[in-house]
Structure 1
Amino acid sequence: MTSSSSTPRGHHFFIRSRRRAVALVGVGSLVLALSAAASAQANLTGSTFEGGDGNLVVNTTGNTDWTNAPSRVTGIDKFADKTDDAFGQGTKEDNAAVTVVDGSIPPNKNDLTRFYTANETLATIGASGNTGDIMLYLAWERLVNIGNANLDFEVNQAKTTGWTPSTVGPVTINRTAGDLLVTYDFGGSGTPTLGLNTWVTSATGTTADCFSANSLPCWGKHKDLNGTNSEGAVNTGTVAEPIARGNLSVGLFGEAAIDLTAAGVFEAGTCKAFGSIFVKSRSSSSFTAELKDFISPQGIDLANCSSSTVTTPKLADGTTTVPSTGVAVGSTVKDSAVVTASPASVIPTGSVAFSICKFAVGTTSLCDGTTNVGTSVGTTNIPSNNASNPVTVVSPGYTVSDVGRYCWRAVYSGDTAKGIPSSSDSRATECFVVNPVAASGTTAQKWLPNDSGTISASAGGDLAGSATFTLHPSGDCTGTSVYSESVPVAGASPQTVSTSNTTVVVTASGSYSWKLAYSSTNANQTGFAATCKEATALTINNTLP
């Protein structure tokens, strides 16, 4: 939950309370002199994290603490005095359906202000006796030291949608079988007691597996964590708060480090991935006590398996890589995603969602899914019978209709049932250029055959009659004619007349010939019968360069 730097009217009590809890940075040297940390070194096998010294800074060179915690995530309370939110009256740990209300935290109960979480996979041998142990680090801060502190960190595999720092009203926590509940109970002095419960459903257990509830789903049997797989501390003196700035007086800060592998959360050969965490306070040490304040969930990446997605733009066949010169407008392209799960024994399942973005040529933007979301091209499922790791998944086709620079994005869904986390690829190697299409021209010749003839007579006066032209598809006037036309002839000899063909079209090479006949209506002259007068060998070529 977020807090504001501005101070609304009527919140003076909040300011005084917070100042009692967090002093000015300027007295940091005095604070460090007075601090009585529980330990100055990391105690869990293989880990360099100082999770049991009750402060936020590194005490031993080479170690880590909250100032340099690996993959640190911060959650901040709404923190607005009497309007702070909390779970509604009567909410218990086994309730997934909860109600968020405003202004219901009694002053003598834990009023949380922020929490931290971090995690890492050890490169050295951990408490499990092997390399690769997965460590979870937790920390909380509260407004007032009321002595005891009873808190629970809920670590979910799936995020709860619609739950934000401003949410008020009904919320259903998105719980999955195997989700974790880390209990943190501090009696006001000494070392906190840490425990672990897992979420049980009808698919994974019976009511006999429930810790306190009488029906499923429920939190399962409680497991006490010990000094071998965990450590924790609450500050016994004023300590510096270098992240939020300021100082924290006695009892306002608590932390824990847990080897989840040694605690049995992550088992060899089984994938599990957690993506969300939040903290909440109980009204007493009893597991069935009412829940009070909380800080809304933050996303985390906590898994013993991993996945990677590497994609390559392809042509329409889905196998040929788009050339470095790009493709032409109107081309169909696809994206090929290679999904790899780790360890190698894990078989990827799930699906890959593909999107594409269009940019101007010469730009460097990427289809990152946030600033540039692009167009959804579709989702391709990994075949249910897949037995390969890695596995290649190809997108549906996408036709590029404009020039530009195009970039793909591929997002692998992961598989929450198997515990395989998601992954994606939207690197610059996902981009390619679409070029304009070069114009071209072709010809298709069409011939309209026409003929002309000259009629003459040596005597007898003017010509009178008609000339008949006949076109044959041969070189010797044989075969059925394809065109015939009669043209009037009149006037002094000689007379030249022509055909006016507009309907017969020749589009292919071949030989053609004409016959000419003349019929005279002048009694002093005679006509002549149809005679083969001429031939043409026609060659049509439409393919010259």
Structure 2
Amino acid sequence: MKSITRARWGVGVACLALVLGGTTAAQANLSGSAFEGNDGNLVVNTPGNLDWANVPGRHTGIDRPTGQTDNSFGQGTKEDNAAVTVVTGAIPPNKNDLTRFYEASEQASNGDIFLYLGWERLVNIGNANLDFEINQSATTGFTGTASGPLALNRTAGDLLVTYDFGGSGTPTLGLNFWVTSATGSASDCFSANALPCWGKHVTLGSTTAEGAVNAATVSEPIAGGTLTTGLFGEASINLTAAGVFPAGVCEAFGTAFAKSRSSSSFTAELKDFIAPIAVNISNCGSITINKVTQNEPVPGTQSFAYTTSSNLTPSSFTLNNAGSRTYTKLGSGTYSVTEGAQSAPWSFVSLTCDTASGVTITGQQASIALGAGQNVTCTYTNSFTKAQPTVATTQDLIPNDNFILSAGLGTPTGSITFNLYAPSDSTCSGTPAYTQTVTVNGNATYSTTNSAFHATTEGTWRWASSYTGDAYNLPASSACGVERFTIANS
């Protein structure tokens, strides 16, 4: 659980010029990532790499069809406005009529979190100015059919990825963090004069981000068909290197949407948008339990060889499978060798003797006529096949959570309530599956002491915790799902 007063900034990232490739030729990926984020197409150019056609965890946002049913931001809505207005009607092509966007993320082997973004538009008007807003919590009612006034649910530390393309060459990528009174002051705003606002703009350098817009027709393997010049753009960003995931701090973002600006200016009016989609961009720990059934190799046959002589000593033998081999005199100089009853799981395979003269084998019995001084070896072979059991497993976790209360005035009092929501409640709006309230006595880390409740249902469990506040301190809470764990059977 992150501190409720921790400041979120990415201003320590160097403001470097972004040197990227705007063609479809394959170029070097960001260090630590196999994603081809600067080739301006959706397919893999170098075997072993990733692109939109095969990247795991790809999420897709699709805009409403252009025309009278398409919706957009209206009435002068700008980036710093959390209170927006959605209007319905045609989006002029010169205002970047978006058609779809893609998102994916992954954690590299060194622990860095990479974010991949892609966009498509209806008409190539040359330049492209758009932003991707990535929020920790969803906005109720913000769907593809939204219309009228809408209050965006923004949380301190939410991300705004800016994407500006001048019509040729390379795009410029930037990053802003949402700032509130709990994490900054009005002087931290990029263009607004009051909180809350988007904080100082950071231009992402070539070691942190890369991107490209297609300079020729490319195939669209996801939606089908092709995209002519200038209708597709992409970006790859190392969020850890950009300061989004400070060491030791859990961050989780659960929703993202794309929107276009009327010009390259940050204060330009917002136009078309593609409604938010659920994403999972996080450096938080998770519990994933996978069930694997391993087939055992089938053993080969086992052979048992015995040499008999005219005196037949000993008269019987015990086998590993608890059967027995008995020699019985049938007449003058003639004996039989018979394998005893089988015991599970063994079964008869064959009975052979090493001499052809004087030996008759019928099924599991050999009749042997021994000559003077003659020895004979009979080999009985049996085998078994290992059974394939049917298995079933169930997860059984005893979850607990921590809440770090810091920077409170005086010695904070009151209480903290921990609520854990089952996978069926993705918005933490129903009845908690488990809840616990602890008393607050000062700035400290408070923890649940659960030892009885067991989480067994498959899916993502989400914590949402809150502090009541007291006479000197305001209430505070964590967003739904900032702390979560997943139970999965596969």
> Shorter-chain TM-score: what band?
0.5 to 0.7
Matched, 1:151 2:130: yes
Matched, 1:219 2:198: yes
Letter of the structure 2 residue corresponding to residue 53 of structure 1: D
What CA distance in whole angstroms lies between the structure 2 residues aligned with 1:291 and 1:285? 11
Say which of 188, 207, 230 aligns to 1:251. Answer: 230
Q: 1:256 to 1:309 in 2, by over 3 A?
A: closer
Say which of 77, 93, 103 aligns to 2:63. Answer: 77
Letter of the structure 2 residue corresponding to residue 380 of structure 1: Q
What CA distance in whole angstroms lies between the structure 1 residues aligned with 2:278 and 2:431? 26
**Over residues 247-290 of structure 1, what are the superposed CA-to-partner deviations in whole Å (9 max), with x where a residue is unaligned?**
10000000000001111111112221111110000000000000
Letter of the structure 1 residue corresponding to residue 45 of structure 2: N
Aligned partner of 1:412 in structure 2 is: 462
What CA distance in whole angstroms lies between the structure 2 residues aligned with 1:47 and 1:410? 27
1:70 Cα deviation after fit? 2.7
The aligned runs of 1:62-211 (5 Å cut-off) are 62-123=48-109, 131-211=110-190
Aligned partner of 2:249 in structure 1 is: 270
What CA distance in whole angstroms lies between the structure 2 residues aligned with 1:58 and 1:211? 37
1:39 Cα deviation after fit? 3.3
1:291 Cα deviation after fit? 0.2
Q: 1:161 to 1:64 in 2, by over 3 A?
A: same
1:387 Cα deviation after fit? 5.3
Matched, 1:353 2:420: yes
What CA distance in whole angstroms lies between the structure 2 residues aligned with 1:85 and 1:132? 39
Q: 1:135 to 1:407 in 2, by over 3 A?
A: closer
Q: 1:192 to 1:413 in 2, by over 3 A?
A: same
SS for the counterpart of 1:139 is strand
Structure 2 unaligned regions, length at least 5: 1-21, 290-395, 403-415, 466-476
Aligned partner of 1:338 in structure 2 is: 399
Let me know the Cα RMSD of the aligned residues: 3.3
1:111 Cα deviation after fit? 0.2
What CA distance in whole angstroms lies between the structure 1 residues aligned with 2:124 and 2:459? 49
What CA distance in whole angstroms lies between the structure 1 residues aligned with 2:78 and 2:449? 46
Contact persistence 2:462–2:481 (CA under 8 A): no
1:82 Cα deviation after fit? 3.1
What CA distance in whole angstroms lies between the structure 1 residues aligned with 2:488 and 2:207? 43
What CA distance in whole angstroms lies between the structure 2 residues aligned with 1:191 and 1:177? 31
Letter of the structure 1 residue corresponding to residue 31 of structure 2: T
Q: 1:150 to 1:161 in 2, by over 3 A?
A: same
Q: 1:220 to 1:134 in 2, by over 3 A?
A: same
TM-score (norm: length of structure 2):
0.62
Q: 1:420 to 1:85 in 2, by over 3 A?
A: closer
What CA distance in whole angstroms lies between the structure 1 residues aligned with 2:34 and 2:486? 32
Q: Which of structures 1 and 2 has the bigger CA Rg?
A: 1
Aligned partner of 1:380 in structure 2 is: 436
> Percentage identity across aligned positions?
59
Letter of the structure 2 residue corresponding to residue 154 of structure 1: E
What CA distance in whole angstroms lies between the structure 1 residues aligned with 2:69 and 2:114? 35
The number of residue pairs the alignment matches comes to 333
Aligned partner of 2:260 in structure 1 is: 281
Contact persistence 1:379–1:395 (CA under 8 A): no
Contact persistence 2:66–2:91 (CA under 8 A): no
Matched, 1:423 2:484: yes
User: Comparing 245-254 with 296-305, which one deviates more in the overlay?
Assistant: 296-305
Contact persistence 1:52–1:257 (CA under 8 A): yes
**Over residues 502-521 of structure 1, what are the superposed CA-to-partner deviations in whole Å (9 max), with x where a residue is unaligned?**
xxxxxxxxxxxxxxxxxxxx
Letter of the structure 2 residue corresponding to residue 107 of structure 1: P
Contact persistence 2:29–2:36 (CA under 8 A): yes
Q: 1:382 to 1:160 in 2, by over 3 A?
A: farther
Aligned partner of 1:237 in structure 2 is: 216
